[in-house]
Structure 1
Amino acid sequence: MTAAHEVIVIGAGIIGASIAWHLAKAGARVTIIDDSGAGGVATPNSFAWINASWGNPEKYFRLRTRSMAEWTRLAKDLPGIPLAWCGGLCWDLPAAELEAYAAEHSAWGYGIERVDRAQAGLIEPNLTELPDFALYVAEEGVAEPVATTQALLADAERLGARVLTGTAVTALTQINGMLTGVDTSGGRIAADEVVIAAGAGSAAIAATAGIKLPIETPPGLIVHSRPYKKLLNGLVIGDRLHMRQTAERRIIAGSDFGGADPGMDAEATARDLFSAMKAMLRGADGLELDFHTVGYRPTPIDGFPIIGRAEGASGVYVAVMHSGITLAPAVGLFAAREILDGARDPLLAPYGLERFSQ
């Protein structure tokens, strides 16, 4: 790799920001382009839960736990990142499935503690409804998504990266199958490599180079309270709602960590969701709804990330996934190494785009 390696990163959400920061730190010349602002579109609407929780095979668990460790490394490099290992209290599965999850993940090395109603009340004393049985993982946490993304972008700029917000990428440009850069609303920009990390907009951009990204973009509604006194200590992954309190002291909630289905009337859904959240919290009489967000989650059709170079399109690297908050530091590190040095981390082996054509 030479310092002259020119890389365009399309997308200023947390995945694009992490890749751009790691590339700039390694000496590449980086341009970040996003048609919205710093933070992108999906990232500001994220629940921001960092975890390696239930429902995934061991290979994906290993990638997620590695990324949890990389969060600690990243926070040391950028002390301003608002990262908190606040722990997660979980009872959103039937008891038998919770037990199976605990047994499996404990065998894999995940720090799961079984708790009863009294113990759950000590962890989260302001819950009005406590489970008879729950799981607690002290090593789970949150990274406030917009502030973290802005910190990565600002430091990438300090390292020499260029950030172009409010600029739309209209097409990838190629000559004889070799990528030459991108066309944008502000003109053509040349590059040696382009990273597509534009979330829900990634498929349309990739299609301009004949690349098909099999992704879906389901919506998720999350309610945000006005800042309030501290009521929650960590993540609450309950059977009715998932909620947490942000660094700004807002309480946010969705029917799951991806958010609620907004339905035909998002305002009405938000009001009902907020009422349910308020009813779950002791001392919440003065809690007020401030706003709700509807995010469109970039989700590959098999549920797992797409990370790696696109076959048949030299110079195009794709990084699209739903679990962007959890995976951001590891994906940034691994993508930068692969782009600049050609070294693909073994943890990424299952997640290439080529799996969909096999």
Structure 2
Amino acid sequence: MSSAKQIIVIGAGIIGASIAWHLAKAGARVTVVSESGAGGVATPNSFAWINASWGNPETYFRLRTRAMAEWKRLAGELPGLPLAWCGGLCFDLPPDRLEAYAAEHSSWGYGIERVDAKRAGQIEPNLVEPPDFAVYVAEEGVAEPAATARALLADAERLGARVIAGTVERLALTAGRVTGVVVSGEAISADNIVIAAGTGAPAVAATAGIRLPIETPPGLIVHSRPYKKLLNGLVHAERLHMRQTAEGRIIAGSDFAGGDPGENPEATARDLFAVMKAALHGADGLEFEFHTVGYRPNPTDGFPIIGRAQSVDGLYIAVMHSGITLAPAVGLFAAREILEGERDPLLKPYGLERFA
């Protein structure tokens, strides 16, 4: 790999942080530009589930399981990352669909255990109503999202990266190639630009004439005050997905991506908190602290956009909703593609050209 390449990464969420860290570790000269600071916008509002769970075709499942393995590799290279392989208990689908998911993913090699109410109660003793039928995947986990992004960026700085705050006004182009960015009126030159700005990516890409087909649905998550340990891992019940953070907060959404905040997000949040509290033994003293409404960068077909922008030389795009799961694999694969020209086969379906 060339140590001479100067690369600007736009975005300091989990995807931008991972790409910056992998590039810096490979010897590139990296500048991270972020308007919102370390952690980005969507990342701090994430449920932060690391998984290869239901609803995905096998090609995407393979990318996600590779990413789960890369999280373990990354944790070995950067000890202290706030990861927990706590397992996930799922019963938010009708029994026939849940069984179909379990059969399919088991055939693909996913470590699914079918559980009854007794076993579910052993996994999560504080559930008021353990499900009669659920599936459990012990290898699923969480990454405390903002703290993980900050840790990656801090180590990238140790490796020589520069992190600056500012607004990217536009990409600089010469003869169909990006040559840098203009940040708060100042031009910064680079050999390659990476757009990893989540919901802000379409506006940046548009300055180079590129349309990113992305939707940004809102997702409401409620957060309790720190509390004694009630949950061992992830719980995905019908319209109630919850987990307990490293600092003891129980966070929940009506879906892991967060639910519809409605016309009165505060009222929606308090109603959801009441449902969460009623679902757990020992939660009498649990107190509501705040809610967040995050906006997820969802490509319109539901799958990531990862790869070079074919119409503009030197520009790489990495925008997706499942950023927490995919971050270490995307960082590794993007660094290799940018520095060596080697595109991992797992990324084949996810180029921007599929929307042409």
TM-score using structure 2 length: 0.99
- What is the correspondence of 1:45-60 to structure 2 with a 5 Å cutoff? 45-60=45-60
Whether 1:226 and 2:222 are equivalent positions in the alignment is no
Contact 2:226 2:247 in 1 (8 A): yes
Pairs within 5 Å for 1:173-252: 173-252=172-251
In the other structure, the counterpart of 2:291 is: 292
Paired residue secondary structure (1:73) = helix
Deviations 1:289-309 (A, max 9, x none): 111111000000000000000
Could you tell me which amino acid in structure 1 is paired with residue 177 of structure 2?
M
Query: In 1, are the aligned partners of 2:221 and 2:269 still within 8 Å (CA)?
Result: yes
Match in the other structure for 1:356: 355
**1:170: Cα distance to partner?**
0.6
1:113 corresponds to: 113
Partner letter of residue 132 of structure 2?
D
**What secondary structure is seen at the aligned counterpart in 1 of 2:255?**
coil
How far the C-alpha of 1:112 sits from its partner, in A, is 0.1
The answer on whether the counterparts of 2:89 and 2:137 sit within 8 Å (CA) in structure 1 is yes
Q: Which residue of 1 aligns with 2:85?
A: 85
SS at match of 1:242: strand
Cα deviation 1:234-285 (Å, max 9, x = unaligned): 0001112000000000000000100011111111111111111101011000
Structure 1: give runs of 5+ residues left out of the alignment. Answer: none
In structure 2, the residue matched to 1:305 is 304
Separation in 2, partners of 1:55, 1:171? 37
2:76 equivalent to 1:76:
yes
Counterpart contact for 2:169–2:185, Cα < 8 Å = no
Q: Secondary structure at 1:282's aligned position in 2?
A: coil
The residue type equivalent to 2:40 in the other structure is G
Show the counterpart of 2:147: 147
The one-character-per-residue Cα deviations of 1:79-120 (angstroms, maximum 9, x if unpaired) are: 110111000000010000010000000000000000000110
Counterparts of 1:240 and 1:318 in 2: how far apart (Å)?
A: 33
* Matched-pair contact (CA < 8 Å) for 2:19–2:335: yes
Is 1:258 matched up with 2:263? no
Instruction: Look up the match of 1:30.
Output: 30
Residue 62 of structure 2 aligns with which residue?
62
Q: Distance in 2 between matches of 1:111 and 1:2?
A: 40
SS of corresponding position for 1:354: helix
Distance 1:186 1:195 in 2: 19
**SS of aligned partner of 1:86:** coil
CA distance in 2, matches of 1:210, 1:156: 30
Matched AA of 1:321: M
Percent identity of paired positions between Structure 1 and Structure 2 = 77
Moved more, 93-102 or 179-188: 179-188
Which ranges in structure 2 are unaligned for 5 or more consecutive residues?
Answer: none
Q: Hey, what does 1:136 align to over in structure 2?
A: 136
* Distance (whole Å) between structure 1 residues aligned to residue 185 and residue 206 of structure 2: 20
Distance 1:240 1:263 in 2: 15
DSSP 3-state at the match of 1:204: helix
Structure 1 residue 45 displacement after superposition: 0.1
Q: Write the deviation string for residues 6-47 of structure 1: whole angstroms up to 9, x where unpaired.
A: 000000000000000000000000000000111000000000
Report the alpha carbon displacement of residue 186 of structure 1 after superposing the two structures with TM: 4.8
Q: State the alpha-carbon separation in 1 of the partners of residues 204 and 129 from structure 2.
A: 46
Task: Provide the C-alpha distance between the structure 1 equivalents of 2:60 and 2:176, rounded to a whole number of angstroms.
Answer: 33
> Following the alignment from structure 2 to structure 1, what is the Cα–Cα distance between the partners of residues 153 and 139?
26
Aligned to 1:156: 156
Amino acid at match of 2:96: A
Q: TM-score, normalised by structure 1?
A: 0.99
CA distance in 2 between partners of 1:74 and 1:322 (Å): 20
Structure 1: which amino acid aligns with 2:78?
L
In 1, are the aligned partners of 2:308 and 2:351 still within 8 Å (CA)?
yes
SS at match of 1:292: strand
Question: Does 1:96 find its partner at 2:92?
Answer: no
Letter in 2 for 1:234: G
Give the secondary structure class of the aligned counterpart of 2:37: coil
The residue type equivalent to 1:45 in the other structure is N
Which string of whole-angstrom CA distances, capped at 9 and with x for unpartnered residues, describes residues 145-194 of structure 1? Answer: 011101000000000000012x0001001011111100111511000000
AA in 2 matched with 1:46: S
Report how far residue 311 of structure 1 moved: 1.4
State the Cα RMSD in Å.
Answer: 0.6
How far the C-alpha of 1:49 sits from its partner, in A, is 0.2
The 2-side partners of 1:248 and 1:182 are apart by: 38
Amino acid corresponding to residue 14 of structure 1 in structure 2: I
- Which AA in structure 2 matches 1:77? E
Aligned mates of 1:146, 1:78 — CA distance in 2 = 16
The aligned amino acid for 2:39 is: G
Structure 2 CA distance for aligned equivalents of residues 111 and 260 of structure 1: 28
What secondary structure sits across from 2:193 in the alignment? strand
